[in-house]
Amino acid sequence: MTRIVVHAGFHKTGTTSLQDYLRHNPHRLTDHAAIYLKEDFLAAGNCGRLYGLRPYPWRLWRFRHALRQFLTGIEAVPQIFLSWEGFSGVMPGHQRLLTGTIRDFSRSAIPLARTIASELRHRFGPDCQIEFLYTLRDRESWIRSVWGHLVRSIRLTQDFASFRRGLPDLPRLDAEAARIARALAPVPVHTSWLEDCRNDPLGPAGAALRLLGVPEATLATLPPAPTRNLADPPELSAAYLQLNRSMTDKVALKREKAQLQAEFQRRQT
């Protein structure tokens, strides 16, 4: 019987750090699980993101089809770990064409999770063991991180204060995870807080590896996770915001942001 743990989000909760650690240490973990990250299922990932932006039924079908193609090509081993935050859709703050600002994950995360579970059973049999993991973060810290990501990645023209006022009823991530858990029952849903990982030498990856049952003796032999602050500094976010407010050409805007980021990184080395 195959056990599959699906790390399905949420965005901006240490997912990049978790995935980078697993990406750079696969040879140390092959005895415990087959690990697949977002670059392994790009087609399904893109379809999941599009569904999160526009949750139409045909886009969910495309996600199902792309995920089935990916799963058909992987081996049935005792334990599998899939990690991609896009399995929960897109983060709040993005805009939907007809309904405006996205204000929660659940609308897209629940259909995506149900589709994932269905396709895993189709591939590995009805008796396969499926579990979900959602990583969480303190709400105010998380909202600021979301704003920083959006001001860098899309043409967001609101400063943080305005952005925050526009999302007064944003759910806590643990409440989102609880709602998803109720919808997926009896499939187990686990959670891990980013704040609880601060003293873990393995960073956010530690909780995932313990969920996979990697023995503590083995974890003690793994290299520590590098200390990284992936958030942009305030001055860089302010520069992105100014570009967003002054430029309308998307291609030129993307180019200018890339140049800003490259210049900032050069100054850090």
Tens of pLDDT, residue by residue over 158-209, are 999 999 999 888 899 999 999 999 999 999 999 999 999 989 999 999 999 9
| Cα-Cα-Cα-Cα dihedral sign, residues 58, 59, 63, 65 | positive
Helices (H) and strands (E) in the chain, counts: 11, 7
Please check whether residue 150 is in contact with residue 95, taking contact to mean a CB–CB distance below 8 angstroms.
Answer: no
pLDDT for res 266 = 85
Question: What's the confidence (pLDDT) of residue 229?
Answer: 61
Q: Are 13 and 90 in contact (CB under 8 A)?
A: no
Residue 123: its pLDDT value, please?
Answer: 98
Q: What is the SS3 assignment for 130?
A: strand
pLDDT tens digit sequence for 29-83: 989 999 999 999 999 999 999 999 999 999 999 999 999 999 999 999 999 999 9
Q: Please list, in sequence order, all residues whose beta carbon lies within 8 angstroms of the beta carbon of residue 254, skipping any fewer than 6 positions away.
A: none
State how far the Cα of 240 lies from the Cα of 228, in Å rounded to an integer. 21
Helix locations, 93-215, DSSP H: 106-124, 139-153, 160-165, 173-184, 205-211
pLDDT at 95: 84
> For residues 114 and 269, what is the distance between their CA atoms, to the nearest angstrom?
45
Residue 136 has which token pair? 């969480």
Q: Is the pLDDT of residue 267 over 90?
A: no
Give the distance between the most distant pair of CA atoms in the chain: 56
**CA–CA separation, 257 vs 168, rounded Å?**
29
Residue 246's Cβ-count burial label (10 Å; 0-12, 13-18, 19+) is exposed
pTM for this structure?
A: 0.94
Per-residue pLDDT tens over the stretch 89-147: 999 999 887 778 898 998 899 999 999 999 999 999 999 999 999 999 999 999 999 99
Closest CA to 10 of 112, 84, 115: 84
Give the DSSP H or E segment for 4: strand 3-7
CATH topology of domain 3-228: Rossmann fold (3.40.50)
Beta pairing partners, 240: none
Q: CA-CA-CA-CA torsion for 172, 177, 179, 185, nearest 10 degrees? A: -170
Mind listing the pLDDT tens digit for each residue in 196-248?
998 999 999 999 999 999 999 999 999 999 876 678 889 999 999 999 999 99
**Domain assignments of the chain as residue spans, ordered by start:** 3-228, 232-269
Quick one: tokens of 44?
A: 């399904």
CA gap 115, 63 in Å, rounded: 8
**Virtual torsion, Cα 21, 22, 25, 27, nearest 10 deg:** 180
- Cα–Cα distance between 266 and 269 in angstroms, integer? 5
Q: Which two tokens stand for residue 8?
A: 């399905």
